[in-house]
Copies of this chain bind each other. A is one copy, B any other.
Amino acid sequence: MLTQTRPDPSPSAHDRVYRGLRTRIMHGDMAPGQSLTLRGVGREFGVSMTPARESLRRLVAEGALTMSASGRVSTPELSNERIEELAALRALIEVELASRALPRAHMALIERLQTINAGLAEAIARQDPVAYIRANLEFHRTLYLRAQAPAMLAMAETVWLQLGPTMRMLYGRLRRKEVPQFHRMMISALKAGDEPGLRLAVRSDVTQGLKMLQG
């Protein structure tokens, strides 16, 4: 087949394909409604249909992609109700994660969050939505990792994944000029050890994107 140099023999084929597609979806570089075929994905990653099928089905199982009755796979076009629901889920889970991370958040972590925020500002300046989304997710994940709650973090990531394709559209409308105010509010609350303030900041940050959807 396609003779492609394989520098990494360790990760299985389906893992490479899965991870490639997953980050692509989560970072929002696929438009909603875009369709994917087994042979197309296989050709792109230099594998046969088998690993391609497994990757796609897995992403469908995680809600990152949708499958029509005939088995065709495409990125989802979410209804406003679905988006609202997913945002509510983000609020629920991420507020809890932040709350659990708070007592473990030391200065090194806060500094790292500020560094990520700087990268975020750069992405905003460049008007680069993919970099923006990636930095935004990294900001949240970095904080939540401190919560030591892997099942909750996995849940949150699943929600991010489902919102991925729409996220770009959402942030595309947002002509942002500076780092989100709620990120700064989160950092202040972390420094002060202010749990109610942190919870409010996270909830506000998570649901802010939704508000402009309705506007």
Instruction: Please report A residues at the B interface, Cβ cutoff 8 Å.
Output: 1-2, 4, 6, 9-10, 53-54, 57-58, 60-63, 66-67, 69, 82, 85-86, 88-89, 92-93, 96, 149-152, 154-155, 158, 162
Q: Which 4 A-B pairs have the closest CB atoms?
A: A2-B63, A61-B61, A85-B151, A58-B61
Q: Is A62 in contact with B9, judged by CB distance below 8 angstroms?
A: no
Q: Is A69 in contact with B6, judged by CB distance below 8 angstroms?
A: yes
- List, in ascending order, chain B residues with CB within 8 A of A58's CB: 57-58, 61
Q: Is A149 in contact with B85, judged by CB distance below 8 angstroms?
A: yes
- List, in ascending order, chain B residues with CB within 8 A of A66's CB: 4
Q: How far is the CA of A58 from the CA of B62 in the complex (A)?
A: 9
Q: How far is the CA of A2 from the CA of B161 in the complex (A)?
A: 12
Q: How far is the CA of A152 from the CA of B162 in the complex (A)?
A: 12
A10-B69, A69-B10 known; A85 vs B1 contact (CB < 8 Å):
no
Q: How far is the CA of A93 from the CA of B6 in the complex (A)?
A: 28
Q: How far is the CA of A57 from the CA of B54 in the complex (A)?
A: 8
A113 to chain B, nearest CB (A): 23
From the candidates B2, B57, B85, B158, name the one contacting A57 in the complex (CB within 8 A). B57
Which chain B residue lies CB-closest to A67?
B4
A6-B69, A88-B96, A151-B89 known; A1 vs B61 contact (CB < 8 Å):
yes
A101 to chain B, nearest CB (A): 14
Q: Is A1 in contact with B151, judged by CB distance below 8 angstroms?
A: no
Q: How far is the CA of A9 from the CA of B68 in the complex (A)?
A: 12
Can you list 5 A-B contacts with CB-CB less than 8 angstroms, sorted by A residue number?
A: A1-B158, A2-B162, A9-B69, A54-B57, A63-B154
Q: Is B63 in contact with A152, judged by CB distance below 8 angstroms?
A: no
- List, in ascending order, chain B residues with CB within 8 A of A69's CB: 6, 9-10
Q: How far is the CA of A152 from the CA of B81 in the complex (A)?
A: 12
Q: How far is the CA of A158 from the CA of B159 in the complex (A)?
A: 13
Q: How far is the CA of A61 from the CA of B79 in the complex (A)?
A: 25
The winner among A6, A63, A67, A86 for most chain B CB atoms within 10 A is A63
